[in-house]
Amino acid sequence: MSTKGFMPIGVSGVLDVSAPVKRQKGRRTGLVLLAGVCVGAVAVCAVLMPLVYFTLADLQTKVDRLSASDDHVQKALKLHGDSAVVATDSLGEAVGVQTAYGNGDRPRRDAGAGVRPPPPPPRTGAVYVRWGREGCASDIETLYKGVVGGGHYSHHGGGGNYQCLPLEDVEWDKPQAGYQHGSYMYGAEYQSGNAQFSTDNMPDGISNPLNYDIPCAVCHVVGRFAHVMIPARLSCPQGWSKEYSGYLMSSHHGHQSNKDFICVDGAPNLVQGSASDQNGALLYLVEAQCGSLPNGPYVNGYELTCVVCTK
């Protein structure tokens, strides 16, 4: 039996203190190793604890950011419904909302920030002249009211188109009295139409617009961006809106001055008190001349109609 690591005992069972005692090297080595392990564990903990702390703090920040982003997305989806699309970053996190209005709204840091409101509707549109009427339709903006003017029927020169001259807020800049420049503007008169034009908008008792001055109005229709005058038609193509219809009119073929063809409202107004025959820029109904025009859709001598359409 080995006695390594034990104190010697005498035969009588009494401890022999005179016998040499062996050193217990194994126990001390174990204690040293245990102490080293504890010290090492403390060092490792000292190193790892800050890393664990910062990792937890970073995770909390990400959770807070995801929560705020989710609140923003929910508000946007509630406001825009199906028109909102959630935008994500490379990690799949929601970073904003793309709406039908084309603006990506990112979550803002300031409290109470919401989704941008939709832009106001556009105010642009088509502009046209309503010849023969004092104003536009009730649902159409009237830019101004006026009277039709143009060059004199007997003059060789001057402008070749009719103008809608305003009756209010006429402005001048350095005017000179008298005539110095040789180009003139005259008022326009009806020269035909007692059988064709409706009397609905004429003064009571008047059935013939002959020699009356011709009113006009410049109209702005919002949300439409094109307009066209179609001769020989009373209706518009599919998808277009009819503004008004009437008769094609221009100057007389035998006069010195030729003018544009314009569409004059079929139920015209007349400028009150203007029945005196002053001439000036005259307007005549336009008739079809077959032979040069195809005989079939057109009838020789028929007065041509017209319509103004917008889209």
**Pair (79, 188) in one structural domain:** no
280: amino acid identity, one letter: G
**Pair (225, 272) in one structural domain:** yes
Separation of alpha carbons 211 and 234, rounded Å: 26
Structure letter (DSSP) for residue 234 = S
Residue 229 lies in a domain: yes
**Pair (267, 309) in one structural domain:** yes
The CATH number of the domain where 137 resides is what?
A: 2.170.240
Q: What is the pLDDT of residues 131-162, one digit of tens each?
A: 999 999 999 999 999 999 999 999 999 999 99
35: amino acid identity, one letter: A
Residue 253 lies in a domain: yes
**Pair (130, 69) in one structural domain:** no
Which two structure tokens, joined as six digits, stand for 115? 């989704």
Contact 167/147 with Cβ under 8 angstroms? Answer: yes
pLDDT value of residue 17: 45
Residue 115 lies in a domain: no
Length of the chain: 311
Q: 265, exposed or middle or buried, with CB in 10 Å at 0-12, 13-18, 19+?
A: buried
Separation of alpha carbons 95 and 3, rounded Å: 77
Residue 10 lies in a domain: no
Beginning with the edge strand found earlier in the chain, give each strand of the sheet holding 85-88 in spatial order.
85-88, 94-98, 104-105
pLDDT value of residue 21: 46
pLDDT value of residue 70: 58
**Pair (287, 239) in one structural domain:** yes
**Pair (55, 84) in one structural domain:** yes
Residue 15 lies in a domain: no
Which uninterrupted H or E stretch holds 264? strand 262-265
Residue 158 lies in a domain: yes
Structurally, how many domains does the chain consist of?
2
pLDDT along the chain (311 residues), means of 10: 46 47 51 54 54 56 61 55 50 50 46 64 85 95 96 93 96 94 95 88 90 96 94 97 97 92 96 88 96 93 97 95
Residue 80 lies in a domain: yes
Residue 245 lies in a domain: yes
Q: What is the pLDDT of residues 16-75, one digit of tens each?
A: 444 444 444 555 555 455 555 555 555 555 555 555 454 556 656 665 665 655 565 565
Q: What is the residue range of 156's domain?
A: 120-168+184-311
Separation of alpha carbons 157 and 155, rounded Å: 6
**Pair (125, 261) in one structural domain:** yes
